Amino acid sequence: MVLAGCSDSGREERRRAAGPGASFAALMRVADAEAGAAAFGQCGACHTVRRGGGDRNGPNLFGVVGSPIAGNSPRFGYTAALQDVGGDWTRERMDAWLTNPQRFAPGTSMRFPGVADPLVRADIIAYLATQK
Ligand code: HEC
């Protein structure tokens, strides 16, 4: 659904399609992995996402959607804060994490304020889900 030459990746049109106050599920239906790949630029200083990519300040994220929380990159030194969350990275939990990492896992070492726009978060999650 990316509109050629449209600098916001068709986001306003997709936002209208999802409707006002759209649920996370509705946003995921209009999410665009290509737009998410571009938005992932703000994560790329700390994360690689390709298969076999190394850890940087943060762990490699290949295959992270659906994988155990604090378990995607076995070599990485995760905080107890993130390890104590438990369970797997569902799309919904990824959305909560990317909204505000410190609220999701108080004390996490991910020094990132979060992504305010729900549709940008959905785009990033759609992109991560393709990297598996
Ligand atoms: C300033 C560096 C930094 C930035 C920017 C950053 N992260 Fe992280 N990220 C980290 C660190 C450090 C951790 C490990 C957190 C811990 O152990 O508490 C982490 C952990 C994660 C995890 C958990 C992986 C696992 O194995 O459970 C995910 C998912 C993640 N980041 C996604 C993102 C996304 C998506 C973005 C961009 C929207 C982003 N991060 C931006 C540093 C960063």
Q: What is the DSSP string of 41-65?
A: GGTTTTB--STTPPBSSS---TT-T
- What is the pTM (predicted TM-score) of this model? 0.95
* pLDDT, tens digit, 9 for 90 and up, residues 72-105: 999 999 999 999 999 999 999 999 999 999 999 9
78, 102, 110: which to mutate for ligand 1, most atoms within 8 A of CB? 110
103, 112, 130: which to mutate for ligand 1, most atoms within 8 A of CB? 112
For domain 11-130, the CATH class is: mainly alpha
Q: How many CB atoms lie within 10 A of CB 55?
A: 16
Query: At 8, is the pLDDT very low, low, confident or very high (cuts 50, 70, 90)?
Result: confident
Instruction: For the chain, count helices (H), then strands (E).
Output: 7, 0
At 86 the pLDDT is: 97
Average pLDDT over residues 5-29: 90
